[in-house]
Structure 1
Amino acid sequence: MNTRSLKPTLLAALFAMAGAADAARPSPDEQLAKALDGRVAGKPVKCIPLRNIRSTQVIDRTAIVYGGHGRTIYVNRPTSGLAFLRDDMILVTDTRSSELCNIDIVKLMDPGSKMITGSIGLGDFVPYTRPAKDSTD
């Protein structure tokens, strides 16, 4: 069997599989829409209490979704550094108060090398609340 002819075929198959995996992955807009499904936007706020943050979801080059207590989540669309914002990075936040605010800088750390790879400037936090179920249903 000729191994030279197998190498280009094998490489083409690997590239095709990688492309199919990327195509199957939802776009950042689709990921954000899924996170906000059934929620209503409220008035943007400059800060959110750290004690209310229970989880974070990074949407590549788009936003950070902060999960909170109850029916409300907060979406932050950074004002700078979006090129560094990737879902495989670790968010490193160093605040000097009990709140996370739109003036704070968030550093991004590569999980493998543990090196800081960039930073983002936070924008306002938009609360998205899931409406209470109507008891007359």
Structure 2
Amino acid sequence: MRRAALLLPVITGALLAGCAALPADTARAQQAQQATADSLQRRLAGLTPGPPQACLPLNILPSSGVQTKGYGSTILYVVGRDLIYRNDTTGGCERIAQSDILVTRQLQGRACRGDIATTVDPASRMQTGSCAFGDFVPYRRAK
């Protein structure tokens, strides 16, 4: 009984120390999330969203020179200066922001809502994540 009484303050202190680190980690994660949101907002500045589409048009594929950029769980297909398609995924493909490759399999010849994409590390060629596409929202520069 006496040993348990002596260990209780040590165990309690260790548990409290572990909990003390959580707010700092949470704050860092929130700052990173806010930085990603700010970066996405800057990238879409000056563009107006159009009606959501279930699929990307057939000519808008990464193999056709379209750049794919990751902002957290959001993927942008940059067609040009005046047209960007935004897709808010289910999450899991965030590593394309750190240079992982986005791999899609278009069964219909184009990417559509509900299709599954995976991310692959370019060096190891190991799969690092996966996500499902949401609607594709075109953002266009007002003329």
Q: Distance in 2 between matches of 1:84 and 1:94?
A: 15
**Alignment partner of 2:111: what SS?**
strand
Q: Distance in 1 between matches of 2:139 and 2:43?
A: 10
The answer to whether residue 122 in structure 2 is matched with residue 111 in structure 1 is yes
Per the alignment, residue 139 of structure 2 pairs with 128
Per the alignment, residue 68 of structure 2 pairs with 56
**Alignment partner of 1:114: what SS?**
coil
Q: Distance in 2 between matches of 1:43 and 1:68?
A: 17
> Highest Rg: 1 or 2?
2
Q: Distance in 2 between matches of 1:33 and 1:72?
A: 15
* Contact 2:56-2:136 within 8 A present in 1 as well: yes
Q: Distance in 1 between matches of 2:57 and 2:135?
A: 13
Per the alignment, residue 85 of structure 1 pairs with 94
Q: Structure 2 unaligned runs (5+)?
A: 1-30
Give the paired residue count: 105
Q: Distance in 2 between matches of 1:69 and 1:35?
A: 12
Per the alignment, residue 36 of structure 2 pairs with 28
Identity %: 35
As a proportion of its length, which structure holds more helix?
A: 2
* Contact 1:28-1:62 within 8 A present in 2 as well: no
RMSD of aligned Cα (Å): 1.9
TM-score (norm 1): 0.69
CA offsets, 1:98-134, max 9 Å, x none?
22101211011012211011210010011111011xx
Query: For residues 46 and 67 of structure 1, do their structure 2 counterparts lie closer, same or farther at Cα, with a shift above 3 Å needed?
Result: same
Q: Structure 1 unaligned runs (5+)?
A: 1-22, 133-137
